[in-house]
Amino acid sequence: MRAALSVLLALHVVLTAVAPHVHLEPSGSPHEPCAVCVVRTADVARAVAPDLALARVATGEVALAPVPVPSTGAPLGAIPGQSPPA
């Protein structure tokens, strides 16, 4: 059953992409173009992908904010296994 369903779905996708279709909007409209037409007129994929990542530029030394001493929790020595404060 799964095989028949997958074959029918694949056949539907291929026939939908190959069959002529009607555009509801005139060509050159400001809306997005038809996906099938875009795929039909697309360039062939290239082996090398372009580098689209933005370069990080370090402008100076990174300064971390001082970490405050925690004021909550049990004091040292109140938990078994900890040594008492000196």
> In terms of Cα–Cα distance, which of 14, 34, 37, 36 is closest to 24?
34
| Residue 26 domain-assigned (yes or no) | yes
Q: How many domains does the chain have?
A: 1
pTM above 0.85, yes or no: no
Residue 36 lies in a domain: yes
Structure confidence by residue, pLDDT tens digits, 8-47: 999 988 887 777 777 766 666 667 777 777 777 777 777 6
Calpha distance 30→25 (Å, rounded)? 10
**Containing domain of residue 29, as a range?**
2-40
8 vs 5: CA distance, rounded Å: 5
pLDDT one-digit tens code per residue, 64-75: 888 777 666 666
- Residues 39 and 21 sit within 8 Å (Cβ to Cβ): no
Does a structural domain hold residue 59?
no
CA distance 58 to 33: 41
